[in-house]
Amino acid sequence: MSDISTEKYIEEARRGIANPVLQKALVGLQDRFGRGTAEAYRRLPEGPDLRIKAHEIREKAIANLDVLLEILADKIRANGGHLYFAETAQEAVDYGLAVARRNNVRLVVKGKSMVSEEIGLNPALEAAGIEVVETDLGEYIIQLAGEKPSHIIAPAVHKNRHDIADLFVQKLGIRRTTDPPELTHAARKALRAKFLAADMGTSGVNMACAETGHITTVSNEGNIRMATTMPRVHVAFMGMERIVARLDEYEIILRLLCRGAAAQTMGTYASYIGGPRRPGESDGPDEFHLVVIDNGRSRILADPQFREMLYCVRCAACLNVCPVYGKIGGHSYGFAYSGPVGAVVTPLLTGINRAKDLCQGETLCGACRDACSMNIDLPRMLLALREKLAYGDAAWQVKPASRAEGLAYRGWSWLIRNRRLYELGLKLAATGQKLLPHRKGMLRRLPPPVQGWTQSRDLHPLAEETFMERWRRTRKS
């Protein structure tokens, strides 16, 4: 599996908030895509309710996942393609490596794919002495910089043109320019040479269709088309949930995917791949492999509380409206998936205790649910994760996240059921608070262990007279 650093959420979030370049980029990103996507849904001939229909389509597909995957596999094999079903990330990577070795592959061009980030494909290929080149411009930039993507659709959103200019001078040896078209052209030139020299291309899968036996990939740049057309071998990696039954259903998913991802009515390129080059054709790969990946998804499938997460198509619309993502940026989430989708899917894939801060960090404001192209109720699942963290859960091997918190709540519950003690406590606190630092009638700092409450705001002090005291007094008079 790839590097996971979900434990550093709080530390990384602080770093993100303190980064002025990131802050500016995130405001721009959310302004543009957040609003644009809502507008794009409104402009649908069927209106935003098409998302409800899409949710039904995905629900039906996931409930019949075994049948649909079997049909897809049969059709792709009948068209000369190869299928491999990987239970774990390691199995998926090993299969990709075996294909590369068998074909004496020295250079791989990679189309952007979040699932290959999830399984850690690049490090494994590189460890085997194979050069791997990211070809999506954003991914290429961060690969040259030795970093990780910070957004599903805009992976290099945290870098500005000056960062990229310095990087290209250093890595591509170009004359320094901060002009985006010139920078893009420098990458175009460098990557064209790679596309034409590569022995193998890899891609993800946006959505497969069982009825026709195709996978589809969508891009604006054309990099995925290049990576799946020019090299001799194409290996596509697909999360097992990315499938619908019929072409007419696929049509609805594709339209919503493009709107959710970039407020577009249609991405520039959508390719339907059903197998390798056929006899008589002059281009296309000699070999086509599809690797279908479980890697923890069957556990999500088995849990009715979380099955809905498998309806997700990773369009990233939720990132573009989330107030938390909008401040802390994608690196804080410490895994391939960031934002609200990451806050649910990362704990489920990597361990709920391990990624506990991700679901605790979200606000439950519901913006992600309204933006979701598949109308998924992310806040519901964030709450379900928090519940597991509060009480523990044997099936998911979750230990209660904080014993002290559990004790505190039990104490509180006991206290409020003992009226006299509670009122005595209030009196004591009302007196005790006078010792704390004040500013303009507000409490500036609470003592440990509750100091977090006043870290970024002042608190109202407790009233001199409690509600009950006032009630008694005014009723008498």
Partner 1 sequence: MDTPDQINFFRRIRAALGHAPDVSRNASHLFAEGPSPEELQLLDRIRRRTAEGRQALLERLVEAGKPINLSVTALPDVAYASAAIVRLVGEKKPEWGDAKHIAAWRHPLIDRLNLPEALDRLQVPVHATAPIPIDAGSQFDQVERERQRAGIIASFIGVTSADFCLADTATLVMRNRPGQPRSAALVPSIHVAVIHLDQILSDMKELFALLRWDERYRSEGLSNYMSFISGPSKTADIEATMVHGAHGPREVHLFVVTE
Of residues 365-424, which lie at the interface with partner 1 (CB under 8 A)?
none
Both tokens of 424, joined, read 């005595």
Dist. CA 477–CA 473, nearest whole Å: 7
Among 266, 407, 424, 442, binds partner 1 (CB under 8 A): 266
Residues 212-231 close enough to bind partner 1 by CB under 8 A: 212, 214, 220-223, 225-226, 229-230
Termini Cα distance of the chain: 71
Q: Cα separations (Å) of 138 from 154, 183, 187, 330, 367?
A: 6, 12, 10, 14, 26
Question: If we measure between CA atoms, which residue out of 75, 76, 73 comes closest to residue 276?
Answer: 76
Q: By C-beta, is 183 or 312 nearer to partner 1?
A: 183
Helical pair 419-432 and 403-416, crossing angle rounded to 10 deg: 110
Radius of gyration of the chain (CA): 26
Among 276, 326, 339, 342, binds partner 1 (CB under 8 A): 276
Element containing residue 153 per DSSP (H, E): none
Q: Cα separations (Å) of 227 from 20, 125, 173, 197, 434?
A: 35, 16, 24, 11, 68
Among 147, 166, 211, 370, binds partner 1 (CB under 8 A): 211
Q: By C-beta, is 313 or 401 nearer to partner 1?
A: 313
Dist. CA 359–CA 324, nearest whole Å: 11
Contact yes or no for 425/431 (Cβ under 8 A) = no
| Residue recorded with tokens 């933006």 | 371
Cβ neighbours, 10 Å, residue 440: 6
Longest dimension (CA), the chain: 99
- List the x/- string, 3-32, binding to partner 1 by CB under 8 A: ----------------------x--xx--x
Cβ neighbours, 10 Å, residue 199: 16
What's the order of all strands across the beta sheet hosting 82-86? 82-86, 287-293, 233-239, 200-203, 107-110, 131-134
Residues 369, 372, 376, 378: is their CA dihedral positive or negative? negative
Q: By C-beta, is 229 or 360 nearer to partner 1?
A: 229
Q: By C-beta, is 9 or 306 nearer to partner 1?
A: 306
| Residue recorded with tokens 């007094």 | 473
Q: By C-beta, is 91 or 131 nearer to partner 1?
A: 91
Min dist. Cβ of residue 216 to partner 1 (A): 9
Q: Is 164 among the residues that bind partner 1 (CB under 8 A)?
A: yes
- Binding part of the chain for partner 1, among 8-16, 210-218, 326-334, 407-415 by CB under 8 A, reads 210-218
Min dist. Cβ of residue 52 to partner 1 (A): 17
Residues 301-360 close enough to bind partner 1 by CB under 8 A: 301-302
Q: By C-beta, is 9 or 84 nearer to partner 1?
A: 84
Min dist. Cβ of residue 30 to partner 1 (A): 11
Residues 101-160 close enough to bind partner 1 by CB under 8 A: 135-138, 141, 154-156, 160
Among 34, 96, 120, 275, binds partner 1 (CB under 8 A): 275
Q: Is 188 among the residues that bind partner 1 (CB under 8 A)?
A: yes
Contact yes or no for 165/178 (Cβ under 8 A) = yes
Q: Is 69 among the residues that bind partner 1 (CB under 8 A)?
A: yes
Both tokens of 360, joined, read 């605790």
Min dist. Cβ of residue 156 to partner 1 (A): 6
Residues 76-95 close enough to bind partner 1 by CB under 8 A: 77, 79-80, 83-87, 91
Question: If we measure between CA atoms, which residue out of 357, 356, 355, 319 comes closest to residue 340?
Answer: 319
Min dist. Cβ of residue 271 to partner 1 (A): 5
Among 243, 292, 348, 381, binds partner 1 (CB under 8 A): 292
Q: Is 180 among the residues that bind partner 1 (CB under 8 A)?
A: yes
Min dist. Cβ of residue 198 to partner 1 (A): 13
Which 3 state secondary structure label does DSSP give 207? strand
Cβ neighbours, 10 Å, residue 293: 27
Q: Is 281 among the residues that bind partner 1 (CB under 8 A)?
A: yes
- Binding part of the chain for partner 1, among 124-132, 241-249, 392-400, 467-475 by CB under 8 A, reads 241-249
The letter for the amino acid at 433 is: Q
Helical pair 65-78 and 50-63, crossing angle rounded to 10 deg: 80
Min dist. Cβ of residue 394 to partner 1 (A): 17
Min dist. Cβ of residue 287 to partner 1 (A): 12
- Binding part of the chain for partner 1, among 2-10, 264-272, 330-338, 382-390 by CB under 8 A, reads 264-272
Q: Is 298 among the residues that bind partner 1 (CB under 8 A)?
A: yes
Residues forming beta bridges with residue 216, ordered by sequence position: 207, 272
Residues 32-61 close enough to bind partner 1 by CB under 8 A: 32, 60
Min dist. Cβ of residue 260 to partner 1 (A): 16
Min dist. Cβ of residue 229 to partner 1 (A): 6
Q: How many residues interact with partner 1 (rule CB under 8 A)?
A: 91
